[in-house]
């Protein structure tokens, strides 16, 4: 490999020897094309005409009045496919095309990345396989159906708890046997180098836009930028735009599940220890020996025991702060935003909103917060229906 892919000591590429040639090829291609004029032009056009960028920055007036400070939502939920995932799948999908690959594989948790990959598979006419845990298939069935309609094959993974971690394990195993013709379109800013760097690059669009929109709309930078953290792609995407603005506080919100003390959660940065999983040195939820823990969260997209290496570095350096929101508060946040703004947030970004609600009345009324609304909640309606049945 040309680069070490480290963020401080985090990251790297801890993979079996057999995957190295594929990662080298990917690294070479990414650095060759990511600033290439034709590539950039083609990607720009797709982001605009296919995905619907730029996404608006919306002032959530009623929600702001409720919490007592000013909240702007970065509307990634309005993009094609319903989440920020399309920024990354268009970028990597186009790279796959430039590399001459004809087959895509991807893992998915909430199904949003799987769907965004299936869309791109259809768009570029590539054979697409999506690896998804059985638990997630059950709880995100709408997305499963959409993927199939796009022509993707959805492969059900029984192992472990049938969630994102298990889907990644099997996608990596499949890739090992098909490295020569298959492009692994990784869904978050984690995994082995070059994925954390590459996914960050394709998602950095969110932060660049949001920063400009703040300056244009509000006339100043926000005080706080907040995003949910699963693997960390939507968060690093928006954080990256503000990293050099030292006065902008960056807050990542992880899945607190039932509670941190119950052990039933996926708050990796809040409660994990440094370890190695899926090709990277990262904070990791694990037992004393190093066996990876089973995680739990109402949101499939955050239900993952590791996290992107750059977030580990930002945590240690103090540049970003990471907190956790519990399932109950997340469901409250889902209901609240829906009632007050008529916007259904996905359960993942509802974590970021739950954090804001926890700050109700605690911040100066002039405080400006940008929250990354990474996806829309249509996929989660049946979960909310089950957890919070409506009274007649």
Q: Give catalytic residue positions.
A: 85, 107, 374
Asked if 165 touches other proteins (CB under 8 A), the answer is yes
Query: Where does the chain show beta strands of DSSP type E?
Result: 6-7, 10-14, 57-59, 70-75, 103-108, 127-133, 153-157, 182-184, 224-228, 249-259, 264-266, 273-277, 279-284, 320-326, 368-373
Closest CB to other proteins among 123 and 292? Answer: 292
Site string for other proteins, 230-259 (x = CB under 8 A): ------------------------------
> Given its phi and psi angles, is residue 9 left (phi above 0), alpha (psi -120 to 50 degrees) or beta?
alpha
Which range of residues in 256-264, 272-280, 349-357, 360-368 is near other proteins by CB under 8 A?
A: 272-280
Q: Which of 286, 295, 299, 367 binds other proteins (CB under 8 A)?
A: 286
Site string for other proteins, 289-328 (x = CB under 8 A): xxxx------------------------------------
Asked if 271 touches other proteins (CB under 8 A), the answer is no
Handedness of CA 208, 214, 216, 221 (dihedral sign): negative
Task: Tell me how far apart the alpha carbons of residues 117 and 130 are, in angstroms, rounded to a whole number.
Answer: 8
Among 97, 145, 138, which residue's Cα sits nearest to residue 121? 97
CA atoms within 13 A on the CB side of 338: 18
Site string for other proteins, 140-159 (x = CB under 8 A): -------------------x
Handedness of CA 152, 199, 107, 232 (dihedral sign): negative
96 binds, among other proteins, ligand PLP, none (CB under 5 to 8 A by kind): none
Closest CB to ligand PLP among 344 and 367? Answer: 344
> Given its phi and psi angles, is residue 249 left (phi above 0), alpha (psi -120 to 50 degrees) or beta?
beta
Q: Which of 177, 390, 391, 392 binds other proteins (CB under 8 A)?
A: 177
Closest CB to other proteins among 91 and 160? Answer: 160
How many residues touch other proteins (CB under 8 A)? 36
Task: Tell me how far apart the alpha carbons of residues 61 and 64 are, in angstroms, rounded to a whole number.
Answer: 5
Q: Tell the residue number behind the tokens 């995003």, with chain if given.
A: 227
Among 69, 67, 82, 68, which residue's Cα sits nearest to residue 114? 82
Asked if 176 touches other proteins (CB under 8 A), the answer is yes
244 binds, among other proteins, ligand PLP, none (CB under 5 to 8 A by kind): none
Find the length of the chain.
392
Task: Tell me how far apart the alpha carbons of residues 304 and 326 are, in angstroms, rounded to a whole number.
Answer: 15
Asked if 17 touches other proteins (CB under 8 A), the answer is yes
Q: What is the binding site for ligand PLP (CB under 6 A)?
A: 83, 109-110, 112-113, 188, 228-235, 301-302, 346, 348-349, 374-375
110 binds, among other proteins, ligand PLP, none (CB under 5 to 8 A by kind): ligand PLP
Note the Cα 234 to chain centre separation in Å. 5
For the chain, what is the largest distance between any 2 Cα atoms, rounded to a whole number of angstroms?
A: 62
Closest CB to ligand PLP among 121 and 308? Answer: 308
Q: Which of 179, 218, 243, 340 binds other proteins (CB under 8 A)?
A: 179
Residues of the shown chain interacting with other proteins in the complex, contacts defined by CB under 8 A: 1, 12-21, 159-160, 165, 169, 172-173, 176-180, 273-279, 284, 286, 288-292
């Amino acid at each position: 490999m040309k680069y070490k892919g480290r963020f401080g000591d985090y990251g790297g590429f801890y993979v079996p020897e057999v995957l190295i040639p594929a990662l080298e090829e990917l690294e070479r291609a990414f650095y060759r094309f990511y600033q290439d004029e034709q590539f950039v032009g083609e990607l720009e056009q797709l982001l605009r005409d296919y995905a619907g960028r730029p996404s608006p920055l919306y002032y959530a007036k009623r929600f702001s009045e409720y919490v007592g400070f000013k909240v702007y939502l970065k509307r990634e939920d309005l993009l094609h496919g319903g989440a920020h995932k399309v920024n990354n799948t268009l970028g990597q999908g186009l790279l796959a095309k430039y590399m001459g690959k004809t087959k895509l594989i991807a893992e998915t948790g909430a199904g949003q990345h799987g769907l965004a990959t299936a869309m791109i598979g259809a768009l570029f006419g590539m054979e697409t396989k999506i690896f998804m845990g059985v638990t997630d298939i059950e709880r995100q069935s709408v997305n499963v159906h959409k993927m199939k309609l796009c022509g993707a094959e959805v492969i059900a993974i029984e192992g472990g708890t049938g969630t994102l971690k298990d889907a990644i394990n099997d996608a990596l195993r499949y890739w090992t046997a098909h490295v020569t013709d298959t492009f692994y379109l990784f869904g978050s800013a984690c995994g082995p180098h070059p994925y954390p760097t590459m996914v960050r690059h394709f998602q950095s669009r969110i932060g660049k836009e949001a920063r400009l929109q703040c300056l244009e709309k509000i006339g100043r930078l926000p005080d706080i930028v907040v995003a949910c953290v699963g693997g960390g792609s939507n968060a690093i995407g928006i954080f990256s735009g503000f990293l050099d603005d030292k006065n902008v506080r960056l807050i990542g919100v992880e899945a607190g599940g039932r509670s941190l003390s119950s052990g039933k959660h996926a708050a990796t940065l809040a409660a994990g220890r440094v370890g190695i999983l899926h090709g990277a040195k990262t904070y990791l939820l694990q037992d004393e020996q190093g066996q990876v823990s089973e995680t739990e969260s109402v949101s499939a997209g955050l239900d993952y025991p590791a996290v992107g290496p750059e977030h580990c570095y930002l945590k240690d350096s103090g540049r970003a702060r990471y907190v956790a929101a519990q399932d109950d508060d997340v469901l409250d946040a889902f209901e609240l935003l829906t009632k007050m703004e008529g916007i259904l947030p996905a359960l993942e970004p509802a974590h970021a909103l739950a954090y804001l609600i926890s700050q109700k009345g605690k911040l100066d009324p002039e405080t400006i917060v940008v929250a990354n609304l990474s996806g829309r909640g249509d996929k989660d309606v049946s979960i909310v229906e089950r957890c919070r049945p409506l009274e007649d």
